[in-house]
Chain A
Amino acid sequence: MKYIDEFRNPELTKKLIAKISGMVSDYKKDIKLMEVCGTHTVAISRAGLRKLFPPNLKLLSGPGCPVCVTPNNYLDRAIAYCRKNDVIVITFGDMMKVPGSTSSLEKEKSRGADIRVIYSPIDALKIANDNPKKKIIFLGVGFETTSPTIAATIKTAEAGNIKNFLVQSGHKVIPPAMETLLADKEVKVDGFICPGHVSTIIGSIPYEFIPKKYNIPCVIVGFEPLDVVEGVYMLVKQIVEGEKASVQVQYTRSVKREGNPKAVVLMGEVFERENSNWRGLGMISQSGLKIRKEFSAFDAVKNIEVKVEPTKENRQCICGEVLRGVKSPLQCKLFGKMCTPENPIGACMVSSEGTCAAYYKYGE
Chain B
Amino acid sequence: MCLAIPMKVVKIEGPSGIVELGGVKRNINLELLDGVRVGEYVIVHAGFAIQKIDDKEAEETIEILKEIAK
Contacts and interface: CB of A to CB of B under 8 A. Distances in A.
Interface of A: 1-4, 6-7, 12, 15-16, 19, 36-40, 64-66, 92, 119-123, 142-143, 145-146, 148-149, 152, 156, 174, 195, 197-198, 200-201, 226, 230, 233, 250, 252-255, 260, 262-263, 266
Given A197-B45, A201-B50, A230 B65 contact: yes
Contacts of A64: 1
A16 B65 contact: yes
Contacts of A200: 4, 43, 50-51
B68 A230 contact: yes
Interface of B: 1-6, 8, 21-22, 28-29, 31-34, 41, 43, 45-48, 50-51, 53-55, 57-58, 60-62, 64-66, 68-69
Contacts of B21: 1
A37 B4 CA distance: 13
Contacts of B53: 3, 253-254
Contacts of A174: 1
14 contacts: A12-B66, A19-B69, A119-B47, A121-B47, A148-B32, A149-B32, A149-B48, A152-B31, A197-B50, A198-B2, A200-B4, A226-B65, A250-B61, A266-B32
Given A19-B68, A254-B43, A142 B2 contact: yes
Contacts of B32: 148-149, 152, 260, 262-263, 266
Contacts of A15: 69
Given A121-B46, A260-B51, A66 B1 contact: yes
Contacts of A230: 61, 64-65, 68
Given A12-B65, A39-B1, A260-B33, A254 B54 contact: yes
